[in-house]
Structure 1
């Protein structure tokens, strides 16, 4: 079976890369990565050697490998094997803020948060493959990191913020309105607010009931709706509103209005 290996990146998020692999025989040569690595076996099973330990990885299990830890992975069977891996730069992980602290370099598998982490990992990969906004991709990555490092942190972070934090969140809201069609990143919102990325995402969600990336998406859809009402081209409006994938625009627009962009423009006639 030939290898089918794909890599996905967003130039706006150099701290992240996704590898999706379906292959038959793969070399089990020992190696390490400079980044933190989070992998999942989606189909089949793998035998993993990691830092002197032998592990069997069944479908659905996660493996978390810190930087520079030697490991090797190979499928137990030559067909029907698929896996996915995220590579996350150490500097980004170590700069998450005081709410999330990395423990020592140990392998993490089958934690209580595994099911939720699997879903979040897939969402991060889908964001990269579908060229979603940097704000959405990094928010998903932040939620994933929070679930892996501190499963209780999300609940704690929804507690009511101080008056000072509310003012900082108002600045984030104002910035999103002013830059709705731009490729806003969490790094920029962190600078605008003075809040760590983790606290910002969860405080904002608690205050406005949706995370920053969803808030920006709603602003973009409002803009698109106004421009479509002017009988402008759907493809042109979608690109202008920041939806680089027209199918994503159509899906998002329908979830908001109940109809596709084409049906909306037809109804205006």
Structure 2
């Protein structure tokens, strides 16, 4: 069977906090979603809108880089008839924030990117070169060389486009209740969760919960829950678990439904993702 998408995933055993997706000639449309890690997309051909097709300023095209912070809701919608080629770097939040603190020599709480889209030819070349090193495999490129290329690429972006003025916010009651709801969803990935039980947990009406949750996360509770289930599925697939077992573990009784939903959010089938 022909693969649905031309996509390859790179994972280095020495760099477990990082994953790279190499995508070629894709017209896949990603719905609104977010990640619990940093996402850096280097566009090589085509392009897409990061915040919906009506947001002209959110279009990221060839030679540009999209910088997505953890928890930042975004989409990837290509113009009609356009196919795109790009490299996506998924970096664990604690690792990249630690590197950002090294860049600015500061212990601020949560450094993040200040801009959504940037044009940095030198950074683009650095990320391309780094991904090519990983594609060659750890046996062919020295670890020190790989780590040096990685740090140089990421630190360049944070040095030029990082926000180092962040402070730890003092959460209000609504913010704390939404944290409780998110934690509850995270601990019930394999279960069906009702709006009523979330509302009771937050101490809000169902209507108020929907409004506050979307304002706080940018997503509806069900979409946020699905995103978390897919993120969990990715981790299980990387551990080598069978697809059917992973589907069941994250609450999908139907493997076909799981595969369709996984492809929608990841841009690859579970089998493609597991193979790398």
TM-score, length of structure 2 as denominator length: 0.48
Greater relative contact order (CA < 8 Å, ≥ 6 in sequence): 2
TM-score, length of structure 1 as denominator length: 0.49
Structure ID, larger Rg: 1
